[in-house]
Amino acid sequence: MTEAVWSSAVVANRSGGHFNSAREAAVIRTLAIGTILLLAGVGAYAQQPGIQRKSLLTEDGPPGFQTIVNTLEFAPGAREVRHTHPGPLVGYVLEGTLVLEHEGRPTTTYKAGEAFYVESGKIHFGINSSDAPVKFIATLIVEKGKPSSTPVPQQ
Q: Strand ranges (DSSP E) for the chain?
A: 51-60, 65-74, 83-84, 89-95, 97-102, 108-111, 115-118, 124-127, 134-143, 150-151
pTM listed for this prediction: 0.70
Q: What one-letter code names the amino acid at 4? A: A
pLDDT category, 76, cuts 50, 70, 90? very high
Q: In 3-state terms, what secondary structure has residue 99?
A: strand
Q: Is the pLDDT assigned to residue 125 strictly greater than 80?
A: yes
pLDDT category, 94, cuts 50, 70, 90? very high
